[in-house]
Amino acid sequence: MQFAVFNIRCKSLLRGTLLVVASVVLALVLSGFPDIHPSLALLLPAIAAVYGTWETTRCLRQRWSFYHGGVMLLLYADVLALALILFLLLYPYAQWLQTT
């Protein structure tokens, strides 16, 4: 028996959620939080988080149910995680926002 988490062709809510959470943790480590420094390596967690969000989107159903509502809440959390990763990626390059 093969688990859906390891089968790319099957929909897996757990795989999408784990990818996004792992991407946020990796982005925090790579950025050197709280002393954020520029790093293009943050593109990898950003791409992984986008893929995880897409995996979560695949789990949506046509008719509304509490499962559908839960997936929508996870999608909102994924969007917040993507915003955090993109902030960590782009903030060090915004020189006009930093005081000198």
For residue 2, how many C-alpha atoms fall within 13 Å in the half-sphere facing its CB?
9
**pLDDT (0 to 100) of residue 100:** 57
The pTM of the full predicted model, rounded to 2 decimals, is 0.86
Span 85-99, pLDDT tens digits: 999 999 888 876 666
| Counts of helices then strands in the chain (DSSP H, E) | 3, 0
- How crowded is residue 61: how many other Cβ atoms within 10 Å of its Cβ? 9
> Residue 23 — pLDDT band, cuts 50, 70, 90?
very high
**Where are the domains positioned within the chain?**
13-93
**pLDDT (0 to 100) of residue 45:** 96
Q: In the predicted model, what is the mean pLDDT of the chain?
A: 88
